[in-house]
Amino acid sequence: MKKSLIYVLFSTVLFSLMEIALKSAGNQFNPIQLNLIRFTLGGLVILPFALSHLKKQHRQIHWSDWKVFSLTGFLCVVISMTLYQLAIEYGEPAIVAVLFSCNPVFALIFAYLILHENFSRSDIISLILSVIGLLVIVDPFKLTDPLGIFFAILAAATFGFYSIMSQASSLRVQLDGVVMTSFTFIAGALELLVLILITKIPPIAAGMRSVSWLKSFADIPIFTNVNLPNLWIILFVGVAVTGGGFAFYFLALQEGGVTMASLVFFFKPVLSPIFAFFLIGENINLPTIIGVTIIIISSLITLYGYRLDAKANQ
C-alpha cells in the first residue's frame, strides 16, 4: 500500500505539471512537433517495462499486434493528443487540465455503447455531477474565447474513446496496459512522423498555406529548436512528464490495482490549478473552484463505487 501511494503521488505530480510544461514548451515548438517529440521519448521510456512484461508472459510482438497499435496510436497520439496540445496552445492550462481529467466520463459512455457495460448507480451520479462541473467551469453563457475549451473537450472525448478501444484491443490480443501504452506511443509517433513528412511536400504545403486555419499545419518542423538550450524542456516533457508520469501510473496500477491508480486522475484537477497559479500566475476564479469541487465529489463517488464492486467480487 505504501509503495503504491508513492507511485500515485509521483504520477499525480507529473501529470499535474503536464499542461504547464506543454504551455511553456509550446513557445519554442510547433504543437504537432512537440507531440512527436514527447510521445517518441515517452514510448521509449516505458519500453523497458513493456519488454519486461513481455518476457514474463513469454510473449512476442507479432505483425497482427502492430495493426492494433497503429489503431490505438492513431486515436491516442495523432487525434486525441493533437487536440490536447491545441487546447493548451489556445486555452488556459488549469482549465484544460480539469476538462481533460473528465475523460473517464466519456470512457464510461463509450464502454456502455461499445462494450455494453452497464452503468451502476454510482456511475450515473458521477456522470451527472461531472457534466455539471464541466458546465460550471466552461460557463457557456460567458464564453469569450471558446477554442481552447472546445479542443479540450474534444481531446477528453477522443481519449475516452481511445481508452475503451485500447481496453478492448488488449483483451483481444492479450497484452497488458504497459505493453499496449508503450507500443501505442511508438506507433502513434511513427504515424505522426509520416503525416509531418507529408506536410513538407511542396504542393501540399502550398495548398495548406492557402487555407487560413491550415497554415500552422503546413511544413511542420521536426528538429527546429531541438538544441542544447531547450534540452531541459524536451527531457522534462518527454521523459519526466510523459514517460515518467505513465511509468509511475502503471507501477501504481501493478502494485495497488485499478482503484489505487485511479486516484491519479481524481487528484489531478486539484493540483493542476494550484501549480498553474504558483508557477505561471494563472488566476483561479470562483466558477473554476466550484466546478473542480463538483468534479472531485464526482470522482470520489466513482472511487466509492469501485470499492463496492471490488468487495462484491471478493
Distance (Å, whole) CA 94 – CA 104:
18
Cell numbers standing for residue 49 = 517495462
DSSP 182-219: HHHHHHHHHHHHHHHHHTTSHHHHHHHHTSGGGGGGTT
pLDDT beyond 80 at 231: yes
pLDDT beyond 60 at 258: no
* Nearest Cα residue to 90 out of 188, 216, 223, 189: 216
Which segment, 76-85, 172-181, 281-290, is predicted with the most confidence on average?
76-85
- Please tell me the predicted confidence (pLDDT) of residue 307: 67
More confident residue, 202 or 263: 202
Q: How large a percentage of the chain has pLDDT more than 90?
A: 22
DSSP 121-159: HHHHHHHHHHHHHHHHHH-GGG-S-THHHHHHHHHHHHH
Q: For the chain, what is the mean pLDDT?
A: 83
Note the pLDDT tens digit of each residue in 115-145. 777 777 777 787 788 778 877 876 665 656 6
Q: Which residue has the cell 452503468?
A: 119
Distance (Å, whole) CA 69 – CA 62:
11
pLDDT beyond 80 at 108: no
Note the pLDDT tens digit of each residue in 234-246. 888 898 888 888 7
- Please tell me the predicted confidence (pLDDT) of residue 24: 76
Q: List C-alpha distances in Å: 310 to 171, 305, 313.
A: 20, 9, 5
pLDDT beyond 90 at 39: yes
- Please tell me the predicted confidence (pLDDT) of residue 57: 87
Distance (Å, whole) CA 184 – CA 202:
30
pLDDT beyond 80 at 148: yes
| Mean pLDDT across 188-217 | 90
More confident residue, 310 or 285: 285
* pTM of structure: 0.82
- Please tell me the predicted confidence (pLDDT) of residue 147: 81
> Residue 73: which pLDDT band, with cuts at 50, 70 and 90?
very high
